[in-house]
């Protein structure tokens, strides 16, 4: 069940599965023009062992101030729903026994000291505040694409609470001027050419189900991509793209990775044309665990840029392995 909480006074929508016997909480961060929905196939395989938190970035998914057109409704497919939030879960995320209501009646978080920005560091500030608001002190961050950069920045900002990071289809650290200019231009066109009625054009969901993937994903996910594309707030959609792809921003990311003392792992798709494996390995090489052989990188076969939809079993399996390596098993009574 989705819940809303204020972060810097801005409503953020999130889902938190029931507490599991094992710590930590695994936090999932989506990428550009996507939403928390894309993590559901992976979360379904993890929630029996770990509590899982997914949320919509500011300006995306349901964390927007834009009201969707009344004829537009997200598509849900059988088996894609998370377990509903329970009272015990609400007690887990709140700081008192008042349950769910404590999230809405608690004093509002402090006002953001600066105007809202859209760099990965800005979104990482949102995430750290969300983690604090929910009272989480032991988390692993799993970020896709832009969400991977956000996860890395958040780990740098909050080293005591963040025990590790897993980046999915995320890399970079090399600024290739001509390629980035083409990417930024194409992205700007995607943002501009998205009237609400686009959702109703025949077969546009089929096109989206084939975009940036090694093999087409189910058509329902193509529909979800169209919805998230068209309903993202214009400023957030444009600024998150442009502000995260400047030369300065690209060059900062390796510095962040090199500072992290927590374990950091990378999942790459061998057929990812958006974030090619060589760029994933390049960013991973700045972490001490790379060890000259890329020991913190795993490449998934027959996988494009949406690994959590294309290969959810492989992604979940790798998350379980990596988090498990650094998690102390619960003591038996």
Average pLDDT score over residue span 41-68: 89
pLDDT of residue 327: 84
pLDDT recorded at residue 22: 67
- Give the position of tokens 């929905």: 37
3-state secondary structure of 213: coil
How many C-beta atoms surround the C-beta of residue 157 within 10 A?
Answer: 15
Which range among 37-46, 151-160, 322-331 shows the weakest confidence by mean pLDDT?
322-331
So what's the pLDDT on residue 177? 87
pLDDT of 254 above 90: yes
- What CATH number has the domain spanning 3-325? 3.40.50.1820
Percentage with pLDDT > 90 across the chain: 69
Q: Which of 43-47, 97-101, 155-159, 310-314 has the lowest mean pLDDT?
A: 97-101
* Alpha helices, DSSP H, located in 47-196: 87-93, 101-105, 120-133, 146-157, 177-192
pLDDT at 329: 58
Q: Give the separation between CA 150 and CA 169, rounded to whole angstroms.
A: 13
Residue 66 exposure: Cα atoms within 13 Å on the Cβ side = 19
CA–CA dist 197, 281 (Å, integer) = 40
Helix (H, G, I), strand (E, B) or coil at 279: helix
For position 84, what pLDDT does the model report? 31
Answer whether 227's CB lies under 8 Å from 196's CB: no
pLDDT classification of 200: cutoffs 50, 70, 90: confident
Which band of pLDDT confidence, cut at 50, 70 and 90, is reported for residue 86? very low
Compute the mean pLDDT over every residue in the chain, rounded to the nearest whole number. 84
Q: Assess whether pLDDT exceeds 60 at residue 81.
A: no
Q: What was the pLDDT predicted at 79?
A: 38
Residue 114, pLDDT above cutoff 60:
no
- Whether the per-residue pLDDT at 304 is higher than 60: the answer is yes
Q: Minimal CA–CA distance to 164: which of 268, 26, 15, 316?
A: 26
Question: What is the arithmetic mean of pLDDT over 285-302?
Answer: 92
Domain borders along the chain are 3-325
Residues 9-37 have a mean pLDDT of 92
């Amino acid at each position: 069940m989705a819940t809303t909480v204020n972060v810097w006074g801005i409503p953020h929508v999130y889902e938190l599965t029931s507490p599991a016997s094992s710590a930590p909480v695994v936090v999932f961060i989506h990428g550009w023009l996507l939403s928390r929905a894309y993590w559901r196939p992976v979360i379904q395989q993890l929630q029996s062992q770990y509590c899982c938190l997914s949320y919509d970035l500011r300006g995306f998914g349901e964390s927007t101030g834009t009201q969707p057109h009344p004829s537009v409704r997200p598509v849900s497919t059988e088996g894609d729903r998370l377990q509903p939030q329970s009272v015990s879960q609400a007690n887990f995320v709140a700081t008192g026994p008042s349950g769910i209501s404590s999230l809405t009646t608690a004093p509002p978080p402090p006002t953001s000291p600066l105007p809202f920005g859209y760099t990965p560091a800005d979104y990482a500030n949102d995430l750290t505040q969300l983690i604090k608001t929910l009272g989480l002190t032991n988390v692993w961050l799993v970020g896709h694409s832009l969400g991977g950069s956000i996860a890395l920045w958040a780990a740098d900002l909050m080293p005591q609470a963040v025990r590790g990071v897993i980046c999915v289809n995320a890399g970079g650290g090399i600024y290739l001027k001509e390629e980035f200019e083409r990417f930024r231009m194409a992205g700007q066109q995607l943002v501009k050419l998205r009237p609400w009625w686009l959702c109703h054009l025949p077969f546009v969901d089929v096109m989206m189900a084939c975009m940036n993937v090694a093999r087409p994903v189910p058509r329902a996910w193509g529909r979800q991509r169209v919805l998230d594309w068209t309903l993202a707030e214009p400023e957030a959609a444009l600024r998150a793209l442009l502000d995260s792809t400047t030369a300065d921003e690209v060059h900062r990311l390796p510095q962040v990775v090199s500072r992290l003392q927590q374990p950091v792992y990378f999942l790459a798709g061998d057929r990812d044309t958006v974030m090619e494996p060589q760029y994933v390995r390049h960013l991973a090489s700045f972490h001490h665990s790379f060890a000259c052989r890329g020991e913190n990188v795993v490449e998934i076969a027959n996988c494009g840029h949406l690994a959590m939809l294309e290969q959810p079993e492989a992604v979940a399996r790798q998350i379980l392995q990596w988090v498990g390596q650094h998690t102390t098993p619960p003591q038996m009574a």
